[in-house]
Structure 1
Amino acid sequence: MLSIQLNNLGKKFNKEWIFKGLTYTINAGDKVVVLGGNGSGKSTLLQVISGFITENEGEVIYKVNDKIIPVDKIKNHISFASPYIHLVEDFTLTEMIDHTKIFKPFIKDLSTEQIIKLLDLEAAKDKFIKQFSSGMKQRLKLGVAILCDTSLLLLDEPVSNLDANAIAWYKNIIKEYSQNRTVIVASNAIQDEFFICDKQLNVMEYKK
């Protein structure tokens, strides 16, 4: 499993600090919720942790079994679902799953058919992603991230665009497949999003 040390972390856009002086330890296997309202910087923090964007101050240290992982290699250990990650709209669902497998294996070597069944999207297996509703796209993003065989799972506002049935699906699949991995969830304090979490980090405490 993967551990993360945030040391005096700071990120700004132009001259405005989104957060500053953030020091926090995420141990291997921790389930952490990052709390904050809209525009608070929680999504930015997840992007910094993921290596998608670079911090302006401080550092992020990643370790797997006490071995430091360089930031340029961390993407191999991470799966990430968020509203701002785009899907390939011209793929069918089956093609999307097959394409993902090229870059990251799935847990327990799940087959494409098994994954689609776990997503509860069997009726849409031959549909193009561009034909999906926003809720179906969110379910796909979440399912692929959760079912990829990665040490670190990052979820940004995971129940956005989900109806009650889909939220129940999310709660079942995250409970089943979050064991033995580190999980970070960014949330607007919606309990259904982070019910598995046992630690919290409030990004509002690191505003300057």
Structure 2
Amino acid sequence: MTASRNSRVPPPGRVDAIVVGASAGGVDALSTLLPMLPRDFRPALLIVLHLPRERPSLLVEVFSARCALPVHEATDKEPIQPGTVYFAPPDYHLLVDAGVPGPTLALSQDAPVHFSRPAIDVLFESAAAVYGGRLGGIILSGANADGARGLASVREAGGATLVQAPATALVATMPAEALARGPVDFVLPLEQMPAVLRAWGGAGAV
């Protein structure tokens, strides 16, 4: 199922970064989505996946072996590079700062949001403030409302929005909450998402 396109969808090639939020079922969703992106994919991908705070993350090791794009755990004050996947580390919020000459990553141990640190809303809202209409936002499988407010902030800043079709998610709560918050540009199963991402980055039409 696809949502109707509207004037908020940036022209092809206008998206510099894509923020992604997931929780329960998110590893499986990302394992389908990320390996489908080509080596020449231009936008940076900033990802918050709810993780246990007390254990090191293995996401970089898991996804580096599966993806054509470089995969890193985000570090504080790191410049955001095109065509790179960044995962939020456990027990830190991941944010975007304006930076000079370009946007940078920031880490924070402020209070959890929706009982989560990292929280999806925190990343999406900070990225929307920096990138505005040059941002894409994606909500995948998950079990709470984190990300609904953040995706709305991406939409309100003029960015593009995409939600996993709830019926195709391992846990439908997070996509459903995002859709209940307001209209989105696309509602799709995982296998149809890469075409939208490539179009956002200027690598093909939707």
* Bucket of the pairwise TM-score, normalised by the shorter protein: 0.3 to 0.5
Give the TM-score taking structure 1 as reference length.
Answer: 0.37
The structure with more radius of gyration? 1
Give the TM-score taking structure 2 as reference length.
Answer: 0.37
Q: Which of the two has greater strand per residue?
A: 1
Greater RCO (Cα-Cα under 8 Å, separation 6 or more): 1
